[in-house]
Each structure stands twice: as structure tokens, then as C-alpha cells.
Amino acid sequence: MIAAVLSLSTLGAVLGLILGIANRTLRVEGNPVVEEIAALMPGSNCGQCGLAGCAAAAEAMAAGRAAPTICPPGGKALAQAVAAKLGVALDLSAVADAGPQVAAVAEELCIGCCRCAKACPTDAIIGAAKQIHSVMLEACTGCGACLDKCPTDGMVLRPVETGLAQWVMPRPASA
């Protein structure tokens, strides 16, 4: 009886000590969830959420200060992923998700001022002074940072066209 009590107490003490040491030496600085969410985000720091870039938005979402639906370029897909990561309920009714979008230049309005190209976080807009600009679709994330910069309202967002290569067979209606 005494041997059992002693051995279990010793075991508990030793393991507790190891846990205590591990807590000191292996402590994780910062919240790993923030980094995980930041990895999910577009990373273009477009600022549409009203915060200072994607890292700040990830921090706000992890701390519960911002809703998972805060990122417009991320859309529904990102909101769902973040909500699943944080384990919070998600109200998607507020997200006006038009699906993935890309910017396009209205060529009849473009005056070649280069302001949109400077604003683009991914350098997706090419063009020189007094030349009509163009959007490289592969690089555009549809963040809309260029829209407000255009003095002639010549930038528009339009939905990404689904080609054969992007088409996904719809899920059958469940029985």
C-alpha cells in the first residue's frame, strides 16, 4: 500500500517537473493560430478590410476582434476555412461573394496615367505613360485596390470566366 502510494507520488512529481521544465524551455512565443490564418490569406495586403495588411487581419480574426468574413478578396472560401480553424459559427449571409473576380481596364476610358499599376499589390497591371494599360489575369487577385485610383473610373471588376480547365462537376443533389 505504502509502496504504491510512494511510487505513484514519485512518478507524479517527476512527470510534473518535466512538464514544468518543458513549459519554460519549449514555450511558444505568439499565437500559432495567427500564423496559420495568415498562411490562408491572400497576402497581397490590399487593405480592403480596413486593417494594416493581411498579418494584422489574421491577428484580429484570431483574437475575435474581426469576423472571419472580413477579407473581400478571400471570399466565402477563406471565410469558411478561417471559421473552421477558429471553430466559430459563420454567418455567410453578410458576404456578398460574387465568386472570384479579376480587374479589367476599360480601354475607351484609360488615359495611361499609371496610377492603377502603382497601386496594384501584385504588379498585375502593365502599361507605360500615355499607353493603354492592361491586366495580367494570372497575377490579378481581384482585390480592387486599383479601382479607386483610376481618375476616369476606367477600372472594373468582373467575374473570372470558367473555362474547360477550371470547370468542376457539380455535386449530385443528396438523396
Partner 1 sequence: MGFMNLFKTFFSAHWGIHPADDHKRPAADQPVRTMPVPARLHLPLQQHLGAPAKPCVQVGETVNKGQLLAGAAGGVSAPIHAPTSGTIVAIEEVIAPHLSGLATPAIVLAADGRDEWCELTPCAEPFALAPEEIAERVAAAGVVGLGGAAFPSAVKLAGAARAKVHTLILNGGECEPYLSCDDRLMRDRAAGIVEGIRLMLRATGACRALIGIEDNKPEAIAAMQVAAAACPEIRVAVVPARYPMGSEKQLIQTLTGGEVPAGGLPADIGVVVHNVGTALAVRAAVVEGRPLISRLVTVNGGAARAPGNIEVRIGTLVEEVLAFAGGVDDAALARRVLGGPMMGMQVAHWRVPVTKGISGILALDAGEAAAQAAQDCIRCGNCIEACPMGLLPLEMRARVAAGTLAQALDFGLKDCMACGCCAYVCPAHIPLVQYFAHAKGQLAADERAAAKLDATKQLAQQKQDRLAREAREKAEAAARRKAERAAQEAAAAAKEGAKA
Length reported for the chain: 175
Per CB under 8 A, which of residues 111..150 are in contact with partner 1?
A: 120-124, 138-139, 141
- Closer CB to partner 1, residue 111 or residue 166? 166
> How far is it, in rounded angstroms, from Cα 65 to Cα 80?
17
Residue 2 to residue 84: CA distance in whole angstroms: 49
CB 13 within 8 A of CB 44: no
Please report whether residue 3 would count as binding partner 1 according to CB under 8 A.
no
Assess 68 for contact with partner 1 (CB under 8 A).
no
x/- map, 87-116, partner 1, by CB under 8 A: ------------------------------
Number of residues that bind partner 1 (CB under 8 A): 27
Amino acid present at 127? G
Q: Residues near 154 by Cβ (< 8 Å), separated by ≥ 6?
A: 105, 106, 108, 109, 110, 111
Of 33, 43, 90, 97, the one binding partner 1 (CB under 8 A) is 43
The contact set with partner 1 (CB under 8 A) reads: 40, 42-45, 77, 120-124, 138-139, 141, 162-164, 166-175
